[in-house]
Chains A and B, each alone.
Chain A
Amino acid sequence: DAGVIQSPRHEVTEMGQEVTLRCKPISGHDYLFWYRQTMMRGLELLIYFNNNVPIDDSGMPEDRFSAKMPNASFSTLKIQPSEPRDSAVYFCASSLVDSHSQFFGPGTRLTVL
Chain B
Amino acid sequence: EDKVVQSPLSLVVHEGDTVTLNCSYEVTNFRSLLWYKQEKKAPTFLFMLTSSGIEKKSGRLSSILDKKELFSILNITATQTGDSAVYLCASSPNRDDKIIFGKGTRLHILP
Using a CB–CB cutoff of 8 Å, the interface residues on chain A facing chain B are: 31, 33, 41-45, 48, 50, 55-56, 91, 93, 95, 98, 100-107
Picked from A42, A48, A91, A107, the residue with its CB within 8 Å of the CB of B98 is: A48
B79 to chain A, nearest CB (A): 23
B48 touches A101 (CB 8 A): yes
Q: How large is the interface on B (under 10, 10 to 19, 20 to 34, 35 or more residues)?
A: 20 to 34
Q: How far is the CA of A48 from the CA of B99 in the complex (A)?
A: 10
A50 touches B96 (CB 8 A): yes
Q: How far is the CA of A83 from the CA of B70 in the complex (A)?
A: 38
B103 touches A100 (CB 8 A): no
A108 to chain B, nearest CB (A): 11
B98 touches A56 (CB 8 A): yes
Q: How far is the CA of A41 from the CA of B104 in the complex (A)?
A: 10
Picked from B32, B44, B97, the residue with its CB within 8 Å of the CB of A48 is: B97
Q: Which residues of A contact B104 (CB under 8 A)?
A: 42-43
Q: Which residues of A contact B44 (CB under 8 A)?
A: 104
Q: How far is the CA of A95 from the CA of B48 in the complex (A)?
A: 14
Using a CB–CB cutoff of 8 Å, the interface residues on chain B facing chain A are: 31-32, 34, 41-45, 48, 88, 92, 96-104
A56 touches B41 (CB 8 A): no
User: Which label, helix, strand, loop or mixed, suits the secondary structure of the A interface?
Assistant: strand
Q: Which residues of B contact A107 (CB under 8 A)?
A: 41-42
B96 touches A43 (CB 8 A): no
B92 touches A42 (CB 8 A): no
Q: Which residues of A contact B101 (CB under 8 A)?
A: 42-45
A102 touches B45 (CB 8 A): yes
Q: Which residues of A contact B32 (CB under 8 A)?
A: 100
Q: How far is the CA of A104 from the CA of B37 in the complex (A)?
A: 11
Other A-B pairs beyond A100-B31, A103-B45, A107-B41, 12, CB < 8 Å: A41-B103, A42-B102, A43-B88, A44-B101, A55-B96, A55-B98, A56-B98, A100-B32, A101-B48, A102-B99, A104-B44, A106-B41
Picked from A56, A91, A104, the residue with its CB within 8 Å of the CB of B96 is: A56
Q: Which residue of B lies closest to A103 (CB)?
A: B45
Picked from B42, B102, B103, the residue with its CB within 8 Å of the CB of A91 is: B42
